[in-house]
Structure 1
Amino acid sequence: MVRRIHFVLALTSLLFSCEKMKTKPGSPTSELIAESFLSWNGDSLPAYPEGKPKISIVKVTIPPQSELPKHYHPVINAGVLLKGELTVVDVHGNVLEMKAGDPIIEVVNTIHFGVNKGSEAAEILVFYAGEANKEIVVKETPMK
């Protein structure tokens, strides 16, 4: 309970300071792009790993009219589509249509793939919260 109160106070302070920054012309601003306890398809995110943390930032480029291979991520990850358009499909038939600027909180341990149906390359910047010696992308059957 105390941790939750501290979290709420810290979050309130952060939000207040962000709002304060927005009121001054020419000052830096901060904008929350995405925040969730769920992935894009509604699944709950798992707990963070207990091992040595490893953060990876990867820019993926998908050529026009091409498709990523089916894969899954054993770690929490999120990204922002920088350019183009991307359709993400999971094995349960859920579909996410993305355009430049859209965020994604990716599914974990669920097979999915992306398709670029557009006429320009799609670029997505993805942040992975993994652990040392653990893959961030796997091209095989997931645990669930």
Structure 2
Amino acid sequence: MSVSRMMKRTSLIAMALLSAGCSAIPSAPPAIESRVLLKSTTSWEGSAYQAYPAGQPELTVMRINIPANTSLKWHQHPMPNAAYVVSGQLRVETRDGGKSIMLKPGDVLPEIVDRQHRGVTGDSAVELVVFYAGTPGLPLSQ
């Protein structure tokens, strides 16, 4: 094989290796993104949060699945909490009938404290992630 042919062949192999190496160089990792989903000093119906329960803080995070066409029992929470709607639609209403709100996936609800309310699903099930800020032994709802 001639020297010039050998050089051309070596050049082609080097170019192939370089181009293969270029595609193997890792790209920069995606940027970390964060956004506030909820920041509130009041519940969804406008009541101002007064204070957290006294004592050692205890956080509870629950995943709650509610079947389609279900009305939850009337209940109230003794501490601030917030619900994130993962899927489905949920209507939340106060027992006195004064207020209601319709939630969809991606919505965050700052819950009412010490006031009776309930959730009602429609034709599809609802999945929630709920964050409670209470104290040990304090029930999440009553």
Large movers: runs of 4+ above 3 Å = none
Bigger Rg over Cα: 2
Structure 2: tracts of 5 or more residues without a match? 1-27
Measure the CA separation in 2 of the matches of 1:65 and 1:104: 20
Measure the CA separation in 2 of the matches of 1:94 and 1:59: 25
Q: Show the counterpart of 2:52.
A: 48
1:97 aligns with 2:126: no
Equivalent residue of 2:101, what SS? Answer: strand
Measure the CA separation in 2 of the matches of 1:91 and 1:59: 24
Equivalent residue of 1:66, what SS? Answer: coil
Residue 25 of structure 1: CA displacement?
7.8
Q: Show the counterpart of 1:6.
A: none
Question: 2:117 is matched by which residue type in structure 1?
Answer: H
Q: Is the 8 A contact 1:46 1:76 kept in 2?
A: no
Measure the CA separation in 1 of the matches of 2:138 and 2:115: 16
1:61 aligns with 2:72: no
Structure 1: tracts of 5 or more residues without a match? 1-23, 139-144
1:116 aligns with 2:121: yes
Q: Show the counterpart of 1:13.
A: none
Q: Show the counterpart of 1:79.
A: 83
Q: Is the 8 A contact 1:81 1:101 kept in 2?
A: yes
Measure the CA separation in 2 of the matches of 1:85 and 1:35: 22
Question: 1:50 is matched by which residue type in structure 2?
Answer: A
Percent identity of the aligned residues? 33
Matched positions, count = 114
TM-score (norm 1): 0.76
Q: What is the root-mean-square deviation in Å for CA atoms of aligned residues?
A: 1.4
